[in-house]
Amino acid sequence: MTAALVAGLLKLLCGAQARWLGTAPSAEVRIYFANHTSNLDAVVLWATLPPDLRPKTRPVAAKDYWTKGRVRPFLAQKVFHALLIERHKVTVRENPLEGMLAALDAGFSLILFPEGGRFPGLEPRPFKSGLFHLAKQRPNVGLVPVYLENLNRLLPKGEVLPVPLLGSVTIGEPIRLGPAETKVDFLERARLAVWNLHLS
């Protein structure tokens, strides 16, 4: 109920609809990975998924951002079921990969931003290695590239109040780790899969 309301509001705000180019919505476990320019990215991508997929899809988000104040923790826990990870003090005990693997094994899809931070600009920065490790340890999970456009103009870094501009969400063909593919090659191929959606 709250989830449908929040998703509706988000879609109204950015007028965004997902364009499914290389794949159709599916209930199977997947990892959606996208470029990251705005705090709205995770929630807008989540909101544009079909309603029946939303409860089964968890955005991976920064713990320091989503535990501040009262609204954000409520949204993160009750609405988006975000998987909050530690960005700054990664230790053996708090290895974010463990949580993600556990979520995948429990049947949840994930929304991931492999650039490891928000960067303005159209082209995604080089990816961090987390996506590679997930692909290697769970080879059956399809990795779905997503390109998010214009969301940083809705809510630029450092701003609190969003502006209602039109954003777009383009979803491409799933990729998988090749049998002999190196980490560097795979991460670059994944990055290009996202970037090519911008051009299509």
Partner 1 sequence: MKLQIDKQTILLVGGVLALLIVSSVVGWMLSRRRGSPSFEATIANLNARTRAWWFMVAIFMLALATGGIGSVVLFGLSSFLALREFITLTPTRPGDHRTLFWLFFVITPLHYWLVATNWYGLWSIFIPVYAFLFIPVRSVLAGDCERFLERTAKIQWALMICVYCVSYAPALLSLEIPGYARQNGKLLFFFILVVQMSDVLQYVWGKTLGRHKIAPLVSPNKTWEGFLGGVLTATLIGAGLWWATPFTPLQAAGMSLAITLMGFAGGLVMSAIKRDRGVKDYGHMIEGHGGVMDRIDSICFAAPVFFHLTRYFFTP
Binding site for partner 1 (CB under 8 A): 15, 120, 150, 152-153, 156-157, 159, 161, 163-166
Question: At its nearest, how many Å lie between partner 1 and the CB of residue 10?
Answer: 15
d(CA 125, CA 6): 30
Nearer to partner 1, 23 or 150 (CB): 150
Collect all residues with Cβ–Cβ distance below 8 Å to 180 and sequence separation of at least 6.
none
Nearer to partner 1, 105 or 159 (CB): 159
Question: At its nearest, how many Å lie between partner 1 and the CB of residue 129?
Answer: 30
Is residue 108 within 8 Å of residue 28, measured between CB atoms?
Answer: no
Nearer to partner 1, 48 or 109 (CB): 48
Question: At its nearest, how many Å lie between partner 1 and the CB of residue 41?
Answer: 16
Distances (CA, A) of 117 to 6, 93, 120, 125: 24, 22, 10, 9
Nearer to partner 1, 45 or 155 (CB): 155
Dihedral over alpha carbons 61, 152, 171, 130 (to 10 degrees): -40
Question: At its nearest, how many Å lie between partner 1 and the CB of residue 149?
Answer: 10
Question: Directed axis angle between helix 41-48 and helix 2-14, to 10°?
Answer: 110
